[in-house]
Structure 1
Amino acid sequence: MITITNKEEIPIVKEQDVVPLRNRVKDYGVKIGMSILNQTKLITATSELVRNLLKYGGGGKVIIEAVNNGRENGVRVTFIDNGPGIPDIDLAMKDGYSTGKSLGLGLPGTKRIVNEFAIKTEMGNGTTVTIIKWKNG
């Protein structure tokens, strides 16, 4: 069972919100003693997902949480938008797929660099992506 030890919600409405968000996520990683490598993976995943939130979801909010599963500490980041939703999650999770003509990590690349990855979408009602990076993961 996961318990939350610290939590904050950050509205994301413009590109200028990205860097402060990245810094807050890094702070959470530092606070639990996460290695530089794992901090970098967490920040990279956060960057990719927050840019998706802005580009495809028209903005939204991000919830950052310090979590514990009984034996390990981690950082959970949830990205919530009220955009159009993802028409085909299976397709969106395929390597090389992009609607944005970008060479970013995309959803599958992001999934690979975190320990836990969940996505929920509903057409016309937005998308929620939740990631967890464990301290030693």
Structure 2
Amino acid sequence: MTPASGPAVATSLPIGSDADLAWVRHQVRQFAAELGFGLVQQTKLVTAASELARNTLVHGGGGHAQITPLHNGLKRGLQLAFIDTGPGIRDIELAMTDGYTTRGGLGLGLGGAKRLVDEFALDTEPGQGTAVTVVAWVTGAPATRPGLG
């Protein structure tokens, strides 16, 4: 897996407000559409991004998202990383359990996001923050954004 060649290797977006969450969703959808993701794939990826960005804001106290177009042979994809310097996650297994919530939500964020993407990695250290990285792939689609191919 390598970042796509060209000048737009990674885009970093701040996550510090609800407006930032909307901008992250918009950018993820735009990148996904331009890479050739179908509408259902776009919706899954934007949903995962929305959940992870909200976790970054609500539980991590804010941070940033990094959007990186990928290619691996004929495969094209999108890597999304959500990084904060918040309190970290004490019990990863519990946090990944459907229905578990610390803030009164539905408790589907981390586990739900994992099910919506092809690859999922979580790196956290109590007191140091959390980084969640996800990857979704689409095959054989031409890139339309300059620098993605």
Q: Is the 8 A contact 1:61 1:81 kept in 2?
A: yes
Corresponding residue of 2:146 = none
Greater shift after overlay, 74-83 or 97-106? 97-106
Matched residues, number: 135
- Does residue 22 of structure 1 match 2:29? no
Once the two structures are superposed, what CA deviation does each residue of 1:29-73 show, in whole Å capped at 9, x if it has no partner? 011110000000000000000000000000001100100122310
Residue 34 (structure 1) aligned to one of 32, 37, 40: 37
Distance in 1 separating the partners of 2:134 and 2:106 = 21
Partner in structure 1 of residue 2 of structure 2: 3
Question: Aligned partners of 1:52 and 1:14: how far apart in 2?
Answer: 12
Runs of 4+ in 1 over 2 A off after TM superposition: none
Measured after TM superposition, the shift of residue 109 of structure 1 is: 1.1
CA distance in 1, matches of 2:68, 2:43: 17
DSSP 3-state at the match of 2:102: coil
Taking structure 2 as the reference length, the TM-score comes to: 0.87
Question: Who is 2:122 aligned against?
Answer: 119
CA contact (8 A) 1:29 1:135 kept: no
The equivalent of 1:101 in structure 2 is 104
Would you say the 8 A contact 1:76–1:130 is kept in 2? yes
Identity in percent: 47
Question: What TM-score does the superposition give when structure 1 sets the normalisation length?
Answer: 0.94
Aligned partner letter, 1:4 = P
* Greater C-alpha radius of gyration: 2
How big is the alpha-carbon RMSD for the aligned residues of Structure 1 and Structure 2?
Answer: 1.1
Structure 1: state its 5+ residue gaps: none
Task: For residue 129 of structure 1, report the CA deviation from its aligned partner.
Answer: 0.1
1-structure distance, mates of 2:70, 2:119: 13
